[in-house]
Amino acid sequence: MTLKQKIRSKQLTLGSWITIPNQAVIEIMSTAGFDWLTIDIEHSAVDIESIQNLIGFIQAKNIKAFVRVYANDEVIIKRVLDAGADGVIVPMIKSKEDAQKLVDYVYYPPKGKRGVGLSRAQNYGIGFDQYQEKLEKEIVIIAQIEHIDAIHHLEEILSIDEIDSTLIGPYDLSASMNKPGQYDLPEVKEAITKYDQICDDLNKPKGAHVIQSDHSFTNAKIDLGYTFLAFSLDFFFLGDKAREQMQLLKK
């Protein structure tokens, strides 16, 4: 079974976030047993050349390589997929129209509107047919639900069948409600609960990026039925452990 099939059938998959563009970071993270790793280029300084290298390092460890792009933008989605990404995580999908554009940017005609290039993903021109098959069967499309408008239009967004899963973003969701970072407020919790209910009612997978490096926070999401989960990120795993052990030493 492919990772795409596991995600769509609501089987638990666990990944993490890469923000430090270094081969050693990938190789260290790969020892933890993640199903996938996401290179974040929305909130990091990772450039396109580094993206392609990092994708290669991740895939060399038999882990799927996703890229969280900085926008629902035709060019950047095309570039990271041509670089060989196994999937994209796309921020600020707020409507059915946004979701359809995302699908159009991923797939070639007639299913989509993506321009054809011959780069790493297509084995530099000698593997285009194989890539078309992989695109259909394996490429993962994740829409981030992180604005109150997305909550209001969630059923319409989920009607786009090519979206494999969504991923709730409580920080930006709270900001869109003029309560940045206050995701424990009743109105923000209500919006997240609505996300849960709609996904459950439509039998769609639920996703989240759990920032804390303490596994209990991710377990709490699993208990709520979330199946597409990013467990923390590189610099929190590094920093939290260093701070924890130094505090113990100082005691």
Do the beta carbons of residue 61 and residue 27 sit within 8 Å?
yes
7-33: buried (b, 16+ CB within 10 Å) or exposed (e) per residue? Answer: bbebeebbbbbbbbbeeebbeebbeee
* Confidence tier at 182 by pLDDT (50, 70, 90): confident
Nearest CA to 142 among 51, 206, 189?
206
- Structural domains of the chain, count: 1
- In this predicted structure, what is the pLDDT of residue 251? 87
Q: The CATH number of the domain where 125 resides is what?
A: 3.20.20.60
Q: Using a pLDDT cut of 90, give the percent of the chain over it.
A: 95
pLDDT at 35: 98
Predicted pLDDT at 244: 96
Question: Catalytic site residues?
Answer: 43
Range of the domain at 45: 3-250
* In the predicted structure, residue 9 carries a pLDDT above the cut 90: yes
Query: For position 21, what pLDDT does the model report?
Result: 97
Decide if 225 contacts 193 (C-beta within 8 A). Answer: no
What are the tens digits of pLDDT across the range 56-81? 999 999 999 999 999 999 999 999 99
Residue 48 has pLDDT above 90, yes or no: yes
- If you average pLDDT over every residue of the chain, what do you get? 97
Q: What is the pLDDT at residue 165?
A: 98
pLDDT tens digits, one per residue of 107-147 = 999 999 999 999 999 999 999 999 999 999 999 999 999 99
